[in-house]
Amino acid sequence: MRLWSIHPDLLDRAALVAGWREGLLAQKVLRGMTKGYRAHPQLERFRTLADPVAGIATWLHGLADAADARGYRFDRTRVVLPPGPERLPLTDGQLALEWAHLRAKVIERDPPWLDRLAAPRPHPMFDLIPGPVAAWERADLLEE
């Protein structure tokens, strides 16, 4: 599961579509509707919110907005709440790690998309702050 902190406009098609699918799974997990993925580290930051489900819904709407701009049809009726005012901090270290990870993926699967990856920006619900990679991040990405 990769719930990108990067602005959805910067995600290539594969990352945007996978993020949508994984975000919908995260929504189910946060609503207590699954047996698996309940301890997935990517969900830790959403659980810090007063309403984690509202947080993931806000995140999903950000992806749907980017999909709409590209002419994709993400089914917003699957998101259980409208976008809200939820905000989360995002460290510049985490953004840099995800940026490098996205660029590596794009080089493999969609090299022309690299031209759009001039500078990282966070998803609209994140406030960028100085700091290291998040404690919940996958260890294998830290080794790259």
pLDDT, tens digit, 9 for 90 and up, residues 112-123 = 999 999 999 999
The Cβ of residue 41 has, within 10 Å, a number of other Cβ atoms equal to 13
* Residue 111 within any structural domain of the chain: yes
Residue 56 covered by a domain:
yes
User: Residue 1 falls within a domain, yes or no?
Assistant: no
Would 53 be classed as within a structural domain?
A: yes
> Tokens 């993925």 — which residue?
37
Query: Once rounded to an integer, what is the mean pLDDT over residues 39-52?
Result: 93
Element (DSSP H or E) covering residue 128: strand 126-129
Query: Does the pLDDT of residue 40 top 90, yes or no?
Result: no
Question: Quick check: 125 and 88 in contact, CB under 8 A?
Answer: yes
The range of the structural domain enclosing residue 109 comes to 8-143
Helices (H), the chain: 13-30, 44-47, 52-70, 92-109, 139-143
Domain count across the chain: 1
pTM for this entry: 0.93
Classify residue 2: in a domain, yes or no.
Answer: no
The stretch 34-46 carries a mean pLDDT of: 87
Residue-level pLDDT at 37? 81
- Cα–Cα distances in angstroms (integers) from residue 141 to residues 75, 100, 112, 118, in the given order: 31, 10, 24, 21
The rounded distance, in Å, linking the Cα atoms of 131 and 129 is 6
Residue 3 lies in a domain: no
Q: What is the pLDDT of residue 101?
A: 95
Averaged over 107-134, what is the pLDDT? 96
